[in-house]
Amino acid sequence: MEEAQRRALRRGRLRLVEALRVAPLWDPLEQRGLFTRPMVEEIQSAGSRGEQARQLVIDLETRGKQAFPVFLSILRDTGQGDLADMLIEECKCLPAPLQPIDLRPVELDLHREKRNKIRAESERPRIPPAPARGGLDIDKRNHDLVYELKANPCGHCLILNNVNFSRDSELDLSTRYGSDVDCEKLEKRFKALCFDVQTRRDLKAQEMILELLKLARRDHSALDCCVVVILSHGCQTSHIQFPGAVYGTDGKPIPIEKIVNYFNGSNCPSLRGKPKLFFIQACGGEQKDQGVTVDYELPRDEAPGGALESDATPFRGLSGNMDEPDAIASLPTPSDILVSYSTFPGFVSWREASSGSWYVEALDAVLEQYAHSEHLLNMLLQVANAVSAKERYKQIPGCFNFLRKRFFFMCK
């Protein structure tokens, strides 16, 4: 299978998982030689219809040069031509030139020596292109909805990891056992995603600000994006755009919106139009979510027997000794910014000494499995679903999304 066809399957995977009717496909897939009966039975054992569809699309990439056009033909034969059209459009929107796709229905002999002999069953159907809206070129318009990452490294990644807090502060913040586990996971993960990673540990609030400003003032002209990760205690705070604040090791809070706005178009011109991603592992408040009863059984994900810890501290209003956010007049409308929070504003974010925080554990696992094929927002939905399925107390991550396009990570 050509790389462009693989990429089209990966980009269309979400819709295929949502809409693909797999039951009519099994016999044609076997009859046309794409899969043997044991292969089909293995895919059917994947679980729900959606899981079967996901496994089918993944396995399809390994089934040779004719797998893509044969799959399109089977989709049309089973009344799912809209999905075939979607995959063709995904091929068209890729920047690399593509060879014409032969859509003639074909049949592959089950015997190995005859498998490459393709017999035309009908004339090739002509598929008119979808009409462009507003005079825009469809191919260019679709391509423009994806951030382009070409540089290597693709950008800087700064990880601020606060573990040990001063006992002299009035808050008496506890040691964040397990945060080093989070930090190590994310260092390895973002290096694998082609970022230049720098880590800073146990910084006071002013030291955190200096590191953030140093990064924001760098020349990012030759790079394509920027990532900031903060692992610390946190709290609720008054805000204009982005809720919450994180603590330096001296117990002084920094509003998330102040951190984000160091990198906006006004303060960091070399990142204008480029994605700026923030991942915040910190509590959003003191509320402990006990969960609500639902009419179906959520997947059980038992937490280890060790004691759970949170990164919560009380609500803080803006005061004279707090690092206040910029004035409203100096805050332009955010663009190309995504802030991913480990928990809902006002609620606790849970962490375990042995395995780290629930959020980072799920984020790392999802990036490992899906970063090569899924865009960021889809992956964050999977992170939220995984964390929400934890037992004992509940937690739900979320994000403030001001990206203009889909973001796909680079993978080594």
Same domain as 177, residue 63: no
Is 283 an annotated catalytic residue? Answer: yes
pLDDT band at 165 (very low <50, low <70, confident <90, very high): very high
| Sheet with strand 155-161: strands edge to edge | 195-201, 155-161, 225-231, 276-281, 337-341, 398-402
CA-CA distance, 355 to 229, in Å (whole number)? 18
CA-CA distance, 263 to 215, in Å (whole number)? 9
Higher-pLDDT residue of 106 and 54 is 54
Choose among 279, 257, 266, 180: nearest CA to 216. 266
Q: Residue 402: which H helix or E strand, with range?
A: strand 398-402
Identify whether 149 is part of a domain: no
**Sequence-ordered list of residues with C-beta below 8 angstroms from that of 48, at least 6 positions apart, any chain:** none
Same domain as 377, residue 258: yes
pLDDT band at 64 (very low <50, low <70, confident <90, very high): confident
**Sequence-ordered list of residues with C-beta below 8 angstroms from that of 54, at least 6 positions apart, any chain:** 13, 16, 17, 46
3-state secondary structure of 231: strand
CA-CA distance, 145 to 143, in Å (whole number)? 5
**Sequence-ordered list of residues with C-beta below 8 angstroms from that of 262, at least 6 positions apart, any chain:** 212, 213, 216, 268
> Per the residue annotation, which of 157, 225, 283, 399 is the catalytic one?
283
Identify whether 187 is part of a domain: yes
Identify whether 331 is part of a domain: yes
Higher-pLDDT residue of 343 and 375 is 375
pLDDT at 84 over 60: yes
Q: What is the pLDDT of residues 25-51, one digit of tens each?
A: 999 998 988 888 888 888 888 788 888
CA-CA distance, 4 to 96, in Å (whole number)? 8
Residue 33, domain CATH: 1.10.533.10
Q: What is the pLDDT of residues 115-148, one digit of tens each?
A: 444 444 443 333 334 434 333 333 333 567 999 9
Using CB atoms within 10 Å of the CB of residue 189, give its burial: 0 to 12 exposed, 13 to 18 middle, 19+ buried: buried
Lowest mean pLDDT among 12-16, 162-166, 257-261, 333-337: 333-337
Q: What is the pLDDT of residues 168-201, one digit of tens each?
A: 877 888 899 999 999 999 999 999 999 999 999 9
What is the sign of the dihedral through the CA atoms of 206, 210, 212 and 216?
A: positive
With tokens 């910084």, the residue in question is 203
Identify whether 130 is part of a domain: no
> Per the residue annotation, which of 233, 268, 375, 399 is the catalytic one?
233
pLDDT at 332 over 60: no
Same domain as 64, residue 106: yes
CA-CA distance, 146 to 130, in Å (whole number)? 20
Higher-pLDDT residue of 91 and 176 is 176
pLDDT at 23 over 50: yes
Give the angle 257-262-267 at the CA atoms, nearest 5°.
Answer: 130
- What number of other Cβ atoms are within 10 A of residue 282's Cβ? 28
Higher-pLDDT residue of 240 and 288 is 240
Same domain as 360, residue 230: yes
Same domain as 301, residue 335: yes
Identify whether 148 is part of a domain: no
Question: What are the tokens at 316?
Answer: 């803080």
Same domain as 250, residue 198: yes
User: What pLDDT does 4 receive?
Assistant: 83
User: What pLDDT does 142 receive?
Assistant: 57
**Sequence-ordered list of residues with C-beta below 8 angstroms from that of 188, at least 6 positions apart, any chain:** none
Same domain as 389, residue 366: yes
Identify whether 247 is part of a domain: yes
Choose among 303, 165, 149, 296: nearest CA to 227. 149
3-state secondary structure of 138: helix
User: What pLDDT does 349 receive?
Assistant: 76
Beta bridge partners of 404: none
Out of 91, 114, 143, pick the residue that ends a domain: 143
Range of the domain at 98: 3-125+135-143
Give the angle 38-10-193 at the CA atoms, nearest 5°.
Answer: 115
CA 412, distance to chain mean position in Å, is 17
User: What pLDDT does 215 receive?
Assistant: 97
Mean pLDDT, the chain, as a whole number?
78
Identify whether 394 is part of a domain: yes
Same domain as 186, residue 121: no
User: What pLDDT does 366 receive?
Assistant: 95
Residue 228, domain CATH: 3.40.50.1460
Give the total number of structural domains in the chain.
Answer: 2
Same domain as 166, residue 98: no
Out of 81, 108, 143, pick the residue that ends a domain: 143
Same domain as 183, residue 54: no
Same domain as 382, residue 337: yes
Identify whether 99 is part of a domain: yes
Same domain as 184, residue 90: no
Length of the chain: 412
Out of 143, 177, 204, pick the residue that ends a domain: 143
Mean pLDDT on 283-288: 53
Ramachandran quadrant class, 280 (left: phi over 0; alpha: psi -120 to 50; beta: rest) = beta
Is 143 an annotated catalytic residue? Answer: no
With tokens 């403030």, the residue in question is 400
Q: What is the pLDDT of residues 102-117, one digit of tens each?
A: 434 433 344 444 444 4
Mean pLDDT on 261-278: 92
Question: What are the tokens at 247?
Answer: 């603590």
Residue pair 265/332 in contact by the 8 Å Cβ criterion? yes
